[in-house]
């Protein structure tokens, strides 16, 4: 049966991805600089092999034949995901793929220096090549998938999502979020929390992070915590590698970083064992992935009830000081402040960063604006959404993110979708089990929450579409009311 | 040109080996237990891919055509090494290769428990399967290579070496080594060195090891030091991964272990950059590899002059105590004591362990003895060579090593060949540059020694046969006089 042959082939591909994941993790955490060139060459070879095995002619035949074979629902879903992966790999001609990889790695590499020097003039021509090639790729994908060019890119990260739906969601946020931001600002002006005083030795921070991971159910028999410049969740479901970095003057961001990655990790560790190695057994989408990390970070860890549990542990690690009292930590962990940099943004102003990027990259891919226009458009929107000017400071503006340098247009919306999904899951959990604060404060409440996530999200992997997953888990389609409700609760009513 | 196509193919294979080496290192140093099954499957997939790419039909064609192409001497040597690798992979039928891998991994896995329980009866049938399959493989190799069966196995690890030559060498050792052992025993009975008193914290031991690696020229931009249960030197020349383990009651064995692996590492790091990725650019043989680690450990690090340099550093790390005086360390690091276990053996009694195994495995592969006879033959030879009985204690006898469990017959001789090569290199260095003790004590003497090794061994990679390499480096063919001279100096004349 062709379907069986496909399962075998994807199992092989899964093994290759395993090697990629571990060697990629090693590159970011362990490898000395001098090993970089050889590692790059080895990983490129592996990527080529993976591409060849995924796009070889027999795969297309098997995919077509398997459509007429007797399959279970899960197998049908698997076949659907197989076709998606095959399409994503096979749609674009090899020379375009290579040209994009080359332009992307050149642009990204130069960008690391150019951003430091606020060198838009140097960056612009490189980015233009990347955008031109991405438009070409989007055009080809759009025709094959019968989507708009930009939607064909969104589909890579958030299958089934469209820019129209995003537009509705984001326009909705725009109507009520500014009001919450205002109220939160007024409220926080009444408090003046104390900043914890370091140093906070890296070893102690690591121990604290491990404690938090344990509380949050990370399975250390199938994963570990290490250090890298840019924190990430990597590895494979059987062996999830999360990373953080330590600033000895500030333990707070690393602690939340570890908890965020723990959310990603538990999703991976919780994917269904029966479907290991098959596309349908993988994470549903980037947005659903981010919903799990944000659920752990925002819905759980920054919750007052959680910080009440953490405070004694934090004091155990760093000694007693007034700043480490639970109430002070709660105030610190919910402060908001509009800023230039997306990755430093708080939960309330983060969506503005995403909406801005969404609007810009849609216009850019559809040719309504050009690379040349980016600094000005960025500045205009930043003034409009966050009251900040980036004029003459592109390093803090349109040059701040890595995503565009290698052509990952269409990715940004996943971040805010994740926040919205997370709040909707939280709403359903409160309906199904009980108040999240009470659950956190109780003995086995966290386990109940994790069970709910396991049953409704992790174990579902890609067996359902994102729409179906959300509907089955929460009883309603994707909507922003839970996100609004949650933000109001957290930031205006405390 | 076919030769060029071969270079490309071997470059590809090199990339796959890179992934294998890093994921293998990770498995031994970083991976949590729960990741083992997935890692095993991923590495097996990679091994299969490697095997297919190495033995695909076009490679045989290219090898034949390339013979008639215009090639430089180095290219000819490369072609020769390509053919060797192809032969080693292609000679055996796939089902025999698979059967051996399966029997080996089964036997090895069961052995881990059986050795603990001294369970020869349990081990015997598994080992019999391994030996039967190894005999079959040796027979096929022997016919193709026109060697005796056992020599066809030796050739895997020490190309060009024969059991006749080994017999001559080992019989020679047997004539003079017992006398040195006796003298060394008499001499050491006059001393009673003090044992250093711990604890020696693992962190300090690691720092001391890193210092020693630095003194010995390890390139930390192309490698690192970590912990594993069984110390090894892995990774790739561009990124060499060495490991050790720490016993907080004894820093001495880990320190020498790290230095030993540093010798392996410098060989890898010193292989010629121009031939990276090609077979001719790889290490010459297991014996030459061991010669470098033993040169670093025995010729350099256990040398009184080196221990005089190390003693202050050791005291810096662990605090002052009489046992850490140079003279005491020198006595400790040259003590001998016949024992059951090869890996714990001192330099003087080590060859007896090897000769015993060589004689037994030759007889076993050639069918002169059977697996059933092993405990008795082992006991007889242990009594004869080291005066120790292993009767009823096979855990400390013929079950102690991992090598036979997966069919690596023919490997053991490399250890003692390494010791003999190392001493011969040391003799040539004394002739070419000066007394090794004086060089160690001087400011840049170690650099001179490393330059000599780089020019005469590391940079030669597999460009010469082992015979040629030894002759060119030392001016004479392999012989035991330098080993004898060195052992007498170190153990009877101090
Ligand atoms: Zn995330
Ligand atoms: Zn060694």
C-alpha B438 – ligand 1 centre gap (Å) = 59
Which is nearest to A485 in space by CA: A427, A421, A415? A427
Which of A23, A31, A238 comes nearest B35 by C-beta? A238
> How many domains is chain B built from?
2
| B222 interaction partners in chain A (CB closer than 8 Å) | 32, 34-35
- Cα-flanking dihedrals φ and ψ of residue B349, to 5°? -95, -10
> How many helices (H) and strands (E) would you count in chain B?
20, 3
Shortest CA distance from A44: residue in chain B: B15
Binding-site sequence positions of B for Zn(2+)? 260, 264, 290
Nearest CA-CA distance, residue A36 and chain B, Å:
8
The Cα of A20 is separated from the nearest Cα of chain B by a number of Å equal to 8
If we measure between CA atoms, which residue out of A367, A336, A366, A370 comes closest to residue A353?
Answer: A336
Q: Are residues B39 and B159 in the same domain?
A: no
Same structural domain for residues B273 and B398?
Answer: yes
CATH code of the domain covering residue B128: 1.10.1370.30
Distance CA B4, CA A339 (A): 56
Per residue in B274-300, pLDDT tens?
999 999 999 999 999 999 999 999 999
**Backbone angle region of B387, left / alpha / beta, with phi > 0 → left and psi within -120 to 50 → alpha:** left
Q: Is there a contact between B152 and B138 (Cβ–Cβ < 8 Å)? A: yes
Residue-by-residue DSSP string for B116-174: HTT-HHHHHHHHHHHHHHHHHHHHHHHHHHTS-HHHHHHHHHSTT--HHHHHHHHHHHH
Distance B254 CA to ligand 1 centre (A): 41
Residues with Cβ–ion distance below 5 A, ligand 2: B 293
Residue whose pair of structure tokens reads 């890193």 in the numeric block: B210
Report the separation in Å between the CA atom of A260 and the middle of ligand 1, taken as the mean of its atom positions: 6
> Alpha-carbon distance A473 to A481, whole Å?
16
User: Quick check: B221 and A23 CB within 8 A?
Assistant: no
Does A219 reside within a domain? no
Q: Which of B15, B34, B43 sits opposite A42 (nearest CB)?
A: B15
CA A222 to mean position of chain CA atoms: 21
pLDDT at A494 over 70: no
Are A132 and A67 within one domain?
no
Percent of chain B having pLDDT more than 70? 100
- Compute the half-sphere exposure of residue A84: CA atoms within 13 Å on the CB side of its CA: 22
In this structure, are strands B223-227 and B239-244 parallel, antiparallel, or unpaired? parallel
Of the candidates B429, B417, B405, B473, the one whose C-alpha atom is nearest the C-alpha of residue B104 is B405
In A, minimum Cα distance to B32 occurs at A221
What percent of chain A shows pLDDT beyond 90?
98
- Check residue A493 and give its pLDDT: 82
Q: For A119-161, how does the pLDDT look when each residue is reduced to its tens digit (9 = 90+)?
A: 999 999 999 999 999 999 999 999 999 999 999 999 999 999 9
d(CA A292, CA A67): 33
Last residue of a domain, one of B72, B90, B108: B90
3-state secondary structure of B209: helix
Q: Do B221 and A32 touch (CB under 8 A)?
A: yes
Distance (angstroms) between ligand 2 centre and the Cα of B260 equals 6
Q: B224 vs B16, B41, B233, B338, CA distance in Å?
A: 21, 26, 10, 34
| Three-state secondary structure string covering chain A | CHHHHHHHHHHHHHHHHHHHHHHHHHHHHCCCHHHHHHHHHHHHHHHHHHHHHHHCHHHHHHHHHHCCCCCCHHHHHHHHHHHHHHHHHHCCCHHHHHHHHHHHHHHHHHHHHHHHCCCHHHHHHHHHHHHHHHHHHHHHHHHHHCCCHHHHHHHHHCCCCCHHHHHHHHHHHHHHHHHHHHHHHHHHCCCCCCCCCCCCCHHHHHHHHHHHHHHCCCCHHHEEEEECCCCCEEEECCEEEEEECCECCECHHHHHHHHHHHHHHHHHHHCCHHHCCCHHHCCCCHHHHHHHHHHHHHHHHCCHHHHHHHHHHHHHHHCCCHHHCHHHHHHHCCCCCCCCCHHHCCCCCHHHHHHHHHHHHHHHHCCCCCHHHHHHHHHHHHHHHHCCCCCCCHHHCCCCCCHHHHCCCCCCHHHHHHHHHHHHHHHHHHHHCCCHHHHHHCCCHHHHHHHHHHHHCHHHCCCCCHHHHHHHHHCCCCCCHHHHHHHHHHHHCC
Q: Among residues of chain A, what percentage have pLDDT more than 70?
A: 100
Q: B22–A18: do the CB atoms touch at under 8 Å?
A: no
Percent of residues, chain B, with pLDDT higher than 90: 98
Burial (Cβ within 10 Å: 0-12, 13-18, ≥19) of residue B427: buried
Query: Mean of the per-residue pLDDT values for chain B?
Result: 97
Listed residue (B410, B256, B442) closest to B335, CA to CA: B256
Inside any domain, residue B304: yes
Residues B441 and B352 in one domain: yes
Task: Give residue B14's domain range.
Answer: 2-90
A73 and A170 together in one domain: no
| Any domain includes A227 | no
Q: Is B179 helix (H, G, I), strand (E, B) or coil?
A: helix
What pLDDT band is residue B494 in, cutting at 50, 70 and 90?
Answer: low
Does one domain contain both B320 and B172? yes
> Is A351 inside any structural domain?
yes
Domain-terminating residue out of A90, A112, A130: A90
Q: pLDDT tens across B83-133, in order?
A: 999 999 999 999 999 999 999 999 999 999 999 999 999 999 999 999 999
Residue A300 lies in a domain: yes
Residue B226's SS3 state is: strand
Residue partners of B27: CB distance under 8 A and separation at least 6: B35, B36, B39, B43
pLDDT tens profile A278-305: 999 999 999 999 999 999 999 999 999 9
pLDDT bin (cut points 50, 70, 90) of residue A311 is: very high
Question: Does the pLDDT of residue B493 top 90, yes or no?
Answer: no
Confirm if A225 and A257 have CB atoms less than 8 A apart. no
Query: How far is the alpha carbon of B242 from chain A, nearest alpha carbon, in Å?
Result: 13
Q: pLDDT tens across A173-226, in order? A: 999 999 999 999 999 999 999 999 999 999 999 999 999 999 999 999 999 999
Predicted structure pTM score: 0.95
Taking CA atoms, what residue in B is nearest to A238?
B35
**Which positions in chain B have a beta carbon within 8 angstroms of at least one beta carbon in chain A?**
12, 15-16, 18-19, 22-23, 26, 30-35, 37-39, 41-46, 49, 219-224, 235-236, 238-239, 276
Which residue is catalytic, options A81, A158, A261, A359? A261
**Which of A45, A69, A90 represents a domain boundary (last residue)?**
A90
Taking the C-alpha atoms of residue B372 and residue B455, their distance in angstroms, rounded to an integer, is: 48
What residues of chain A lie within 8 A of the CB of B43, using their CB? 19
| A378 and A455 co-located in one domain | yes
Residue partners of B464: CB distance under 8 A and separation at least 6: B77, B284, B472
- Quote the minimal CA–CA distance from A235 to chain B in Å: 10
B306 belongs to a structural domain: yes
Is A146 among the catalytic positions?
no
First vs last C-alpha separation in chain A: 60
Whether B467 is covered by a domain: the verdict is yes
A269 and A125 together in one domain: yes
Question: Is residue A369 located within the same domain as residue A427?
Answer: yes
Q: Which residues are paired to A234 by β-bridges?
A: A241
From ligand 1's centre to the CA of A207, what distance in Å?
21
B7, B81, B261, B347: which is the annotated catalytic residue? B261
Together in a domain, A164 and A57: no
pLDDT over 80 (residue B313): yes
For position B410, what pLDDT does the model report?
A: 98
Q: Are residues B345 and B389 in the same domain?
A: yes
Query: Using CA atoms, how far apart are residues B269 and B240, in angstroms rounded to an integer?
Result: 7
What three-state secondary structure class fits B236? strand
Claim to verify: residue A130 and residue A86 sit in the same structural domain: no
Angstroms from A25 CA to nearest CA on chain B: 10
Evaluate whether residue B100 is within a structural domain.
Answer: no
**Inter-chain touch B34–A222, beta carbons under 8 Å:** yes
First-residue to last-residue Cα distance in chain B: 60
Q: Which of B16, B46, B222 sits opposite A34 (nearest CB)?
A: B222
């Amino acid at each position: 049966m062709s379907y069986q042959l496909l399962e075998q082939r994807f199992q092989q591909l899964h093994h290759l991805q395993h090697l990629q994941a571990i060697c990629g993790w090693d590159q970011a955490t362990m490898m000395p600089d001098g090993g970089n060139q050889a590692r790059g060459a080895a990983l490129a070879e592996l990527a080529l092999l993976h591409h060849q095995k995924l796009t070889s002619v027999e795969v297309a035949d098997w995919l077509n034949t398997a459509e007429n074979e007797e399959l279970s629902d899960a197998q049908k879903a698997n076949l659907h995901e197989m076709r998606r992966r095959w399409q994503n790999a096979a749609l674009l001609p090899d020379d375009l793929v290579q040209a994009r990889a080359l332009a992307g790695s050149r642009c990204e590499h130069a960008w690391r220096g150019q951003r430091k020097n606020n060198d838009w003039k140097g960056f612009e021509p490189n980015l233009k090549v990347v955008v031109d090639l991405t438009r070409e790729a989007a055009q080809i994908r759009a025709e094959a998938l019968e989507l708009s060019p930009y939607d064909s890119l969104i589909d890579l990260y958030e299958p089934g999502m469209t820019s129209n739906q995003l537009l509705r969601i984001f326009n909705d946020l725009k109507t009520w979020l500014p009001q919450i931001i205002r109220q939160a600002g007024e409220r926080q002006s009444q408090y003046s929390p104390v900043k914890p005083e370091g140093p906070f030795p890296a070893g102690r921070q690591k121990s604290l992070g491990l404690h938090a991971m344990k509380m949050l159910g990370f399975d250390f028999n199938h994963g570990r915590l290490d250090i890298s410049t840019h924190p990430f969740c990597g590895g494979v479901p059987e062996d999830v590698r999360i990373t953080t970095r330590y600033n000895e003057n500030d333990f707070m961001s690393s602690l939340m970083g570890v908890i965020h990655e723990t959310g990603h990790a538990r999703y991976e560790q919780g994917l269904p064992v029966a479907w290991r190695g098959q596309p349908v057994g993988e994470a549903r989408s980037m947005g659903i992935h981010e919903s799990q990390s944000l659920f752990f970070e925002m819905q759980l860890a920054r919750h007052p009830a959680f910080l009440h549990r953490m405070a004694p542990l934090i004091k155990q690690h760093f000694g007693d000081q007034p700043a480490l009292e639970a109430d002070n930590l709660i105030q610190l962990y919910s402060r908001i402040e509009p800023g230039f940099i997306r990755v430093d943004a708080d939960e309330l102003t983060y969506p503005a960063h995403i909406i801005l990027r969404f609007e810009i990259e849609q216009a850019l891919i559809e040719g309504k604006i050009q690379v040349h226009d980016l600094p000005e458009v960025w500045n205009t929107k930043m003034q409009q959404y966050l009251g900040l000017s980036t004029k003459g400071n592109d390093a803090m503006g349109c040059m701040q993110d890595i995503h565009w340098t290698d052509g990952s247009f269409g990715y940004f919306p996943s971040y805010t979708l994740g926040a919205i999904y997370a709040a909707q899951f939280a709403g359903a959990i409160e309906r199904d089990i009980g108040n999240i604060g009470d659950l956190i404060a109780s003995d086995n409440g966290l386990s109940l929450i994790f069970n709910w996530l396991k049953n409704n999200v992790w174990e579902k992997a890609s067996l359902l579409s994102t729409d179906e997953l959300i509907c089955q888990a929460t009883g309603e389609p994707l909507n922003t009311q839970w996100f609004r409700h949650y933000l109001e609760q957290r930031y205006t009513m405390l």
